[in-house]
Amino acid sequence: MSTAPNETATPSANTNNDLMVAEQISATVQEELQGTQFIDVHTHLFMPSLGKLGLWGIDELITYHYLEAELFRSSPIKPDAYWHLTKQEQADLIWRTLFLENPPVSEATRGVVAVLEAFGLETRANSLQAARDFFSRQELSSHIRRVFKLAGISEVAMTNDPLDPDEGPTWERGPERDPQFHPVLRLDRILNKWDEHWSVLAAKGYRVERAVNDASANEIRRFLADCYARMQPVYMACSLPDTFEYPEQSTRGHILKDAVVPACREFNIPLSLMIGVRYQVNPSIRLAGDASGKADLRALEHLCASFPENRFLTSVLSRENQHELCVYARKFSNLLPFGCWWFLNNPSVVEEITRERVEMLGTTFIPQHSDARILEQVIYKWRNTRRIMAPIFANHYRLLLEDGWPLTRADIKQDIKRMFRSNFERFAGLNSSHGQRSAN
């Protein structure tokens, strides 16, 4: 797998501490990006013991919600009719519409092409049968190892919702752990949909009420402590609307302040805030129906300032919020920006955001996560990230060299490791050698 085919890949031929010349920078950056195993800090992938929750294979790849959104722009089919099709019929329709009738030039369609190519499958096949046959022959554990290797990642963070009716019971049975998959305690149902979920907690024996009072907040904390004990998450996480405010006289404000933030402090884990979703502006297209909106990041300022002992991993969905996020990260060391999330994960926008972050934050951010929902997506998403970021980083090193810094390969190696591994390991308290959480 090449890192940056659009860049000249003259071998760098420099060792760690040799002083570099400008001509070596591009190849060295590519080699170091290629040689570093990244940690994927936010995905929707699942360890094998969580069974059917883990999506993989060609039909799942083609019916990814990013592609479903694109289908409705190129096909006359109405969402209702689409949802009545079987998974294979949906995939066939998307394949025909977005790959055979139109060249797959969008980021999401191009990703499928890259995955097929990575496995040596025909990319312009008239039918999906050969790809279906290929994936049906794979044994899941060895397939995961192969996929991670192709993607250049050592481990991923999952998204685990204990109130999901399909997922919760599995955690209660104590699923077999897999060190390649870190659990993450996702709190959207609790923080954003309390009215629909308080009774689920009540049915589990927690003395909570719809109107959250201090006693309910304590019981939510007890629930989070039980989840922590069961799952050992590396962080807690929630997506939030563009209208998110903090402090706020609301159920969410109360739960955040009196249950979630203290629980993260108690367990010494970060809270991930993914801000800027406009939920379900078009519910008929389901998962594809969310949009994005500019948020008021003063909410983040207040959280970082009010809770200096807490750590906040943060991604914001609106392009317009990116600069402010960098400014706040310069003010608060307990804020770690991560990723170019969802609608931002396109080369043009990633480039702009990453340049800005390096200029304002050096290497004190996590440049990207994959957000993969289907296992094999990590192959194309991480390949694209390496391809887009190689010239950006190379340019920063070229400027640094020009300005008089005696640059070495070791500098570049250290920076890449920091951005794509150690920043997360340190923030989440992971022990790098074993991928296990450290004692403190």
Q: Which residues bind Zn ion (CB under 5 A)?
A: 371
> With CB cut-offs between 5 and 8 Å by kind, which of Zn ion, ligand RAT, none does residue 239 bind?
ligand RAT
Closest approach of ligand RAT to the CB of residue 147, in Å = 18
Task: By CB under 6 A, name the one of 100, 211, 281, 287 that touches ligand RAT.
Answer: 287
Give residues 362-401 in contact with ligand RAT (rule: CB under 6 A).
371, 373
- Give the residue with the Cβ less far from ligand RAT, 239 or 423: 239
Q: How far is the CB of 287 from ligand RAT (least distance, A)?
A: 6
**Per CB under 6 A, which of residues 234..253 are in contact with ligand RAT?**
239
Question: How far is 37 from 60, CA to CA, in rounded Å?
Answer: 26
287 binds, among Zn ion, ligand RAT, none (CB under 5 to 8 A by kind): ligand RAT
Is the CB of 28 or the CB of 345 nearer to Zn ion? 345
In this structure, the dihedral spanned by the alpha carbons of residues 46, 47, 48 and 52, taken in order and rounded to 10 degrees, is -20
- Which does residue 60 touch among ligand RAT, Zn ion, none (CB within 5 to 8 A, set by kind)? none
- Kindly state the smallest distance separating residue 376's Cβ from ligand RAT, in Å: 15
> Which lies closer to ligand RAT via its Cβ, residue 44 or residue 386?
44
Cβ of residue 63: shortest distance to ligand RAT, in angstroms?
Answer: 13
What CA–CA distance (Å, rounded) separates 358 from 402?
A: 17
Q: Does 221 bind ligand RAT (CB under 6 A)?
A: no
Q: Which is nearer to Zn ion, 371 or 415 (CB)?
A: 371
Judged by beta carbon distances under 5 to 8 A according to partner kind, the member of Zn ion, ligand RAT, none in contact with residue 381 is: none
**C-beta of 27 vs 274, nearer to ligand RAT:** 274
Q: Whole-number minimum distance, CB 274 to ligand RAT, in Å?
A: 6
Amino acid at 437: R
Per partner kind, with CB cut-offs from 5 to 8 A, the member of Zn ion, ligand RAT, none near residue 373 is ligand RAT
Q: Give which of Zn ion, ligand RAT, none residue 437 binds (C-beta under 5 to 8 Å, depending on kind).
A: none
How many residues does this entry show for the chain? Answer: 440
**Least distance from ligand RAT to the Cβ atom of residue 58, Å:** 19
Task: Tell the smallest beta-carbon distance from residue 340 to Zn ion (Å).
Answer: 12
**Least distance from ligand RAT to the Cβ atom of residue 52, Å:** 18
- The residues pairing with 408 across neighbouring beta strands, listed in sequence order, are 19
CB-nearer residue toward Zn ion: 70 or 371: 371
Interaction partner, residue 369 (Zn ion, ligand RAT, none; CB < 5-8 Å by kind): none
In the numeric block, which tokens belong to residue 419? 């951005």
CB of 186 to ligand RAT, least distance (A): 8
Q: Which does 394 bind (CB under 5 to 8 A by kind): ligand RAT, Zn ion, none?
A: none
27-56 residues near ligand RAT, rule: CB under 6 A: 44
- Is 155 among the residues that bind ligand RAT (CB under 6 A)? no
Whichever of 371 and 376 has its CB closer to Zn ion, that residue is: 371
Q: Is 342 a binder of ligand RAT (CB under 6 A)?
A: yes
Query: At 182, is the secondary structure helix, strand, or coil?
Result: strand
Out of Zn ion, ligand RAT, none, which partner does residue 119 contact, by CB within 5 to 8 A per kind?
A: none
| SS3 per residue for the chain | CCCCCCCCCCCCCCCCCCECCHHHHHHHHHHHHHHCCEEECCCCCCCHHHHHHCECCHHHHHCCHHHHHHHHHHCCCCHHHHHCCCHHHHHHHHHHHHHHCCCCCCHHHHHHHHHHHHCCCCCCCCCCHHHHHHHHCCCHHHHHHHHHHHHCEEEEECCECCCCCCCHHHHHCCCCCCCCEECCEECHHHHHCHHHHHHHHHHCCCCCCCCCCHHHHHHHHHHHHHHHHHHCCCCEEEEEECCCCCCCCCHHHHHHHHHHHHHHHHHCCCEEEEEEEECCCCHHHHHHHCEECCCCCHHHHHHHHHCCCCCEEEEECCHHHHHHHHHHHHHCCCEEEECCCHHHCCHHHHHHHHHHHHHHHCCCCECCCCCCCECCHHHHHHHHHHHHHHHHHHHHHHHHHHCCCCCEHHHHHHHHHHHHHHHHHHHHCEECCCCEECCC
N-to-C CA span, the chain: 39
Residues lying near ligand RAT in the complex (CB under 6 A) are found at 44, 239, 274, 287, 342, 371, 373
